[in-house]
């Protein structure tokens, strides 16, 4: 048995269900773009790490990571720090 749009969205009217359905489609598209951007960032981070290690440096630049954390925190508040930590973790050590 297939759930109705109202059941799928938790909405109480068909109009609200339609609005929620459309908004969820937009969120799914945004999520796909965000994932693509993170994957692109991972690739750029790998290039930086290779250059740094190839020149005798360390894999991670902690001062730069602190800048990134501050940028996300300033833009998104405390949850931005957690988001940045996750992103940095994804971008470390891929080489």
What residues have CB less than 8 Å from 50, skipping those under 6 apart? 95
Give me the pLDDT at residue 10, please: 87
Q: Which residues of 62-87 are buried (b: 16+ CB within 10 A; e: fewer)?
A: eeeeeebbeebbeeeeeebbeebeeb
Task: Dump pLDDT digits (tens) for 56-83.
Answer: 999 899 999 999 999 999 999 999 999 9
Give me the pLDDT at residue 95, please: 46
pTM of the model: 0.83
Separation between Cα atoms, residue 92 and residue 23, nearest integer Å: 33
Q: Where does the pLDDT of residue 2 fall: very low under 50, low under 70, confident under 90, or very high at 90 and above? A: low
What residues have CB less than 8 Å from 9, skipping those under 6 apart? 16, 17, 20, 21, 24
């Amino acid at each position: 048995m297939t759930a109705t749009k109202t059941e799928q969205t938790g909405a109480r009217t068909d109009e609200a269900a339609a609005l929620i359905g459309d908004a969820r489609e937009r969120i799914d598209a945004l999520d796909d773009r965000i994932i693509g951007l993170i994957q692109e960032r991972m690739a750029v981070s790998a290039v930086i790490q290779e250059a740094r290690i190839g020149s005798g440096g360390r894999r991670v630049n902690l001062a730069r990571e602190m800048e990134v954390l501050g940028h996300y925190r300033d833009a998104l508040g405390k949850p931005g720090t957690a988001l940045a930590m996750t992103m940095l973790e994804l971008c470390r050590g891929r080489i």
